[in-house]
Structure 1
C-alpha cells in the first residue's frame, strides 16, 4: 500500500544532483566572453542594492574576485611581517686574554723530567721550588718570600705539595729526606731521617691532612702517616722505574693514579682487599701501557669521579681519557707535541695542557669534543708545571725558561649568596 505522504527527494548539500542543476545556463555562462547580466526587473530592490554594494565594497567593480593580472594595492615590502621566526640570540663567547697578566722571574728552575716543583694551596699561596730554595707567592697581597733553603749537600728540591688544609707544606730533597714545613714560621714540623737505601722522592700527593703518598725514583709508592711511630703504613707495588706523578681522586678519595718513567699508568683502589701474606701491600686495579713515553701529566676530572686524563712525553704526544671502573680508553687525541702537564677546570668541562717543543704553548680544550678553545704562547722553553688558583680563573705556569706566568684562562665561578634557612617557606607550621 502506497504511502499517502508524498515522497520527498533529499539532496546532498555538498554534491549537487545533475537534475537540480541548470545545465543550459551553465553552458551559456562558460561559452560567453563576459558574465551575462541578469534581468534586473525580476530582482527585488533589496537584491539590486545588495549587488551594488557588493560590487563597490568587495568586488570593487571587477568582474572576477581572483584576477591574476591585477596588481596588489600595496607592495609586499610595506606590509607588516608578523610571520618571521624569532631567531635565538647567540651566546657570547668568553674572551680569553692571549697575554699573561703577570710574569715573575724564577731563577734556578730545573729543566728535568719527572720533578714536581709547583703547587697552589687552598690558602691562596703558591709554592715553587727553585734549585735548593722554596719560595712562596701570596696572591692576595702580591708578595713573595723565601720559606726555606736546603743545607749544603742535601741536594736540590725535587717535589713540593700543600696539605689539603694548607697548614703544612711537604718538601722533598734530593738526598731522599722528606720534610713537613709550617708555612707561617718556616720551621720543620716533621722530618724523615736520611737513609742511604732510600732513593729521592719525585712526586707527592696528600690523601688526607695526615696521610701523604710518596713516589720515589726506584718505582716504590708508599703511604706515610706521620702521627705513628711506624710512619710507612701502606705500599703500592707496580712501577719498575721512577714515579713522577701521583694524583688522588678528589671526589671519591678512593682511587690513586700514578704515572712513571716506565711509560705505565697505574690505577689503585684503596678499598681493594689485600693479600693475607702482605697485609700492607696494595695491588693495582688497572695497569695502562698504551703510552710510549714518560707519563707525568695526570689529573682527575673534578666533576666525574671515574674519569682520568693522562698525557705522554716526548715520543708520545697523546692525550688519553680513561674510565677507571673498567680501565677502558674513552678517547685519544694527538696533541702535536709532548704533554708536560694537565689541569682540569673545576667548574666546566675544559682541560688545560702545557707542551714542549716546538711551540712551548698552553692549550685549552673543550671536553669531550676536544676542540681547541685557545692557545697561549709566551714561554720559550718546555712548560713543566701548571697550578690552578683555588679561587678559580687564574692558572700559573712555570717553564725551563725560568719564568713564572699567570694566565686568566679559566672562567671565574659566579659567587652566589647563601640561601637563608627556610627561605622557600613563607609559614613555618
Structure 2
C-alpha cells in the first residue's frame, strides 16, 4: 500500500477532530497573581499588624459593643473587610465622566447616553475554535481562493481536485465534483447570491457552473483566460473571473456568448476580487502588488475597460480584500509577506486613509457585520487570526490554533461565525463576532438570480 492510499484511509475530508482540550476552569496547577490589581499597602498591613489588631478588637468587643460597632463601620468605610491579599483579576475600570455636569436638559441627555455606553456589557470573544475539521490535500497556495460560505448556510471547500460541501445546519458533508487530473486541481470556488449555484475555477483556465441542489453541472465557461482562474466574484447574474494571465473578465451566465467586458490592468496573476455591496465598484488585487478600483459606469463591451483608480502603495501581492459593510466607499486590503500591512482606502477619491503594519503576511480580511471590527488572518510567524477595532486599529483579540499560515476565511450568513482554512490541512470555526442580532422585520425573499426562470443553460 502506497503512502497516498494510507493517507486517504487515515484522514477523511471534513471529519471533526476530537481533541482532548483542558477546560479553562479545570486542571489548573497554579495561580499567578496580578501585581497591578493588588494593594501592597493593605497587604503589608494584613501580614504585619492585621492579626494583632484583630486580637485586640476581639478583646475590646467583649467590654464595649458600641466600640465594636464603630470599628465595623470604620472598616466598612475604608474597605478593610477584605480577606484576600493576592489578586488574580484586573480591577474593573473606573467610570470617567467625560462631560462636566451641567444644569440643562442637553447635559442630562448626554450623561444618560454616556451611562448607557458604560453599562453596555463587554462581548466575550472565545480564544479557541469551536470546531475543527480535517481538510486533507488543501492546496497551500497563497494566490488561490478555495473556501466560501453561501447564503444557504453551506460551506464549500476545494481539496485538491474535489469540491466538498459542508452543511452547517446539520454538519453533513457531500462531494459535489471531482475534476480530472488534466483539468485540476480546483483553483477557486464562489457561491452565487442565491446560495444554490456555485462557480468553480480550474487550473485549465475554465470555469464550471454547478447546481448544488440538483448536483449537476449547468455549463462551462471557456475562451476567456489562458491560464488558471484563481479568483471569482459574483455581481447578480455577472460572474467576474480573475486569472494568472492578469485578465479580469465579466461573464453574463445567462447568455451563450458570456464574455461581456474585459478589464486589463494587472501584469501578473489576479488573486483578489470583490464587488462592492452596491455592485457599482470592483476591487482587484494582483501578484504585481497593484490594487485597482473599477467602476461599472465606465465599462464598455466595445473596448478594454479603464480602471477608476490604480493604487500602488502595497509592496507585495494584494490578495486580502474586504468592502466595509457600514461605509460603502471604504475598502480594506492586506499585503503579502513583503508588505504585511492592512490599508484602508476611500474608493471615491483613491486616497489611502490609514496603514497598519501587522508584522506578518495578511492572507484574508473580514468585516464584522454588526460592530466596527475587522478580522485578519496571517502567516508566519504566529499563523493567527487578529480582531481589530476600527478605526483605532487596537487589537481586541488574537486567536491561535493553526500551525501553518491561515490562507482562507469565510463568514457565516448570520455574520457571527468565521471559518478558517490553513496550510496545516485543518478547517476551524470561530465564534468571533458574537451572537446574531434579532431582526424584527420579516426575512427578505432570496434573490433567485442568476438562474431564475432558466431550465437549462447551454
Mapping for residues 101-116 of structure 1, pairs under 5 Å: 101-116=130-145
Matched, 1:333 2:359: no
Counterparts of 1:205 and 1:273, CA distance in 2: 16
Q: Does 1:204 align with 2:235?
A: no
Instruction: Give SS of 1:271's match.
Output: helix
- Which structure: larger Rg? 1
Paired positions, count: 334
Deviation, structure 1 residue 196: 10
Match of 1:231 among 236, 255, 258: 258
Distance 2:288 2:441 in 1: 48
Structure 2 gaps of 5+ residues are 1-69, 78-100, 102-110, 443-458
In structure 2, the residue matched to 1:306 is 329
Quick one: structure 1 residues 345 and 338, their matched pair in 2 at CA, closer, same or farther if it must change by over 3 Å?
Answer: same
2:387 to 364, 376, 398: 364
Residue matched to 2:5:
none
Q: What are the equivalent positions in structure 2 for 1:131-142 lying under 5 Å apart?
A: 131-142=160-171
Does 1:271 find its partner at 2:292?
A: no
- C-alpha contact (below 8 Å) 2:224/2:249 kept by paired residues: no
Aligned to 2:415: 392
Residue 421 of structure 2 contacts residue 428 of structure 2 at CA under 8 Å; is this kept in 1? yes
Structure 2 match to 1:117:
146
Deviations 1:132-186 (A, max 9, x none): 0000110001111111111231120000000001121100111112100110132
Partner of 1:245: 272
Distance 1:368 1:324 in 2: 17
Give 1:39's aligned residue: none
Cα distance between partner residues in 2 of 1:403 and 1:229: 39
- 1:231-281 deviation per Cα after TM superposition (whole angstroms, max 9, x unaligned): 10001111111100100001x21000000000000000111265xxx7242
Work out the CA distance in 2 between the residues paired with 1:326 and 1:311. 19
Q: TM-score, normalised by structure 2?
A: 0.70
Deviation of 1:90 after TM superposition, in Å, equals 4.4
1:169: which partner in 2? 198
Please state if 1:290 is matched with 2:316.
no
SS of 1:154's partner is coil
**Structure 1: runs of 5 or more not aligned:** 1-73, 420-429
Specify the SS of the correspondent of 1:284: coil
In 2, Cα distance between equivalents of 1:222 and 1:180: 15
2:119 pairs with 1:96 = no
More helix, by proportion: 2
Q: Which segments of structure 1 move beyond 2 Å, counting only runs of 4 or more? A: 85-92, 278-281, 411-414, 416-419
How many angstroms apart in 2 are the aligned matches of 1:280 and 1:147? Answer: 37
Displacement of 1:303 in angstroms is 1.0
Question: Counterpart of 1:350?
Answer: 373
Q: CA RMSD in A?
A: 2.2
Contact 2:201–2:208 at 8 Å: present in 1 too? yes
Distance 2:385 2:269 in 1: 26
CA distance in 2, matches of 1:408, 1:301: 20
For residues 312 and 416 of structure 1, the distance between their equivalents in structure 2, rounded to whole angstroms, comes to: 36
8 Å CA contact 1:233, 1:280 repeated in 2: no
Task: Measure, in 2, the Cα distance between the counterparts of 1:273 and 1:234.
Answer: 7
TM-score by length of 1: 0.75
Q: Contact 1:318–1:333 at 8 Å: present in 2 too?
A: yes
